[in-house]
């Protein structure tokens, strides 16, 4: 079945940065077993959560155990931005990502939506020379469910002809809520498979 549009995630989908972003949460708190258990528990319950949502939850969990986090939520969110954005900038793209986007851009309407704050994700996309491939690039506070709905309504597309590509629960939920096809990225090889499904081979 041909597709008219595709909505991509960024971290873990086009760039091998999901692990680095997760590690960045651990880097901003004291390095003790108790702190790490709280962080891991929050991330297990909300793996795709924005830093603005999960960091306050981490603080609440630490305070309930009498643990000192050393900084306020606002300061930790700021520090997380510094650490994670440096890690993302240094992360390699998934094999074939640039070639795939270049090939798809002439065939489909491409959009990108990330849980990363909008200014940061737009800067990362621009730094990799990808901005021109996408009609829109959105980040937090936009939601993926809402973004896919907007793509459908503004483009007049049939849901079955729009693909949502990502590695997270929020990507799958966005596809399901809007009746679109979800293409999961679970390993680097999956990106090539996505290309074949979307009608681009050998990129």
Residue 202 has a pLDDT of 60
- Any domain includes 187: yes
Instruction: For residues 10 and 26, state if they share a domain.
Output: no
The answer to whether residues 109 and 60 belong to one domain is no
Percent of residues, the chain, with pLDDT higher than 70 = 98
Q: State residue 188's pLDDT score.
A: 87
Question: What pLDDT, on the 0 to 100 scale, is given for residue 203?
Answer: 61
Q: Does residue 183 sit within a domain?
A: yes
Is pTM beyond 0.85? Reply is yes
What pLDDT, in 10s, does the model give residues 95-152? 999 999 999 999 999 999 999 999 999 999 999 999 999 999 999 999 999 999 999 9
Element (H, E) at 109: strand 109-117
Phi, psi angle pair for 114, to nearest 5°: -130, 160
What is the number of structural domains in the chain? 2
pLDDT of residue 130: 99
Q: What is the pLDDT of residue 200?
A: 85
Q: Is residue 202 part of a domain?
A: no
| Domain co-membership, 112 together with 175 | yes
- Provide the CATH number for the domain around residue 115: 3.40.50.1000
Cis preceding-peptide flag for 92 (omega within 30 of 0): no
pLDDT number for residue 145? 98
**Residue ranges making up the domain that contains 154:** 5-16+92-197
34 and 103 both lie in a single domain: no
**Which stretches within the chain are classed as H helix?**
18-27, 33-45, 51-64, 73-90, 97-105, 118-127, 144-155, 169-178, 189-197
pLDDT lower than 70: segments of the chain? 1, 202-203
Instruction: Judge if 53 and 104 occupy the same domain.
Output: no
Among 35, 59, 90, give the residue marking a domain's end: 90
């Amino acid at each position: 079945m041909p597709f008219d549009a595709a909505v991509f995630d960024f971290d873990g989908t086009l760039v091998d940065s999901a692990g680095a972003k997760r590690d960045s949460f651990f880097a901003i708190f004291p390095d003790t077993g108790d702190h790490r258990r709280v962080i891991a528990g929050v991330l297990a319950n909300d793996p795709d959560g924005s830093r603005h949502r999960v960091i306050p939850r981490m603080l609440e969990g630490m305070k309930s155990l009498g643990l000192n986090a050393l900084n306020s939520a606002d300061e930790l969110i700021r520090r997380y931005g510094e650490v994670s954005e440096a890690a993302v900038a240094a992360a390699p793209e998934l094999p074939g990502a640039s070639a795939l986007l270049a090939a798809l851009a002439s065939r489909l309407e491409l959009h990108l939506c990330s849980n990363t704050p909008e200014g940061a994700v737009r800067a990362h996309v621009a730094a990799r020379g990808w901005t021109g491939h996408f009609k829109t690039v959105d980040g937090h506070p936009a939601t993926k469910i809402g973004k896919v709905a907007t793509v459908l309504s503004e483009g007049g597309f049939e849901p079955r002809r729009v693909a949502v590509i990502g590695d997270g629960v929020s990507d799958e939920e966005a596809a399901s809520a809007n009746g679109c096809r979800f293409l999961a990225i679970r390993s680097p090889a999956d990106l090539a498979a996505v290309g074949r499904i979307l009608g681009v081979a050998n990129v």
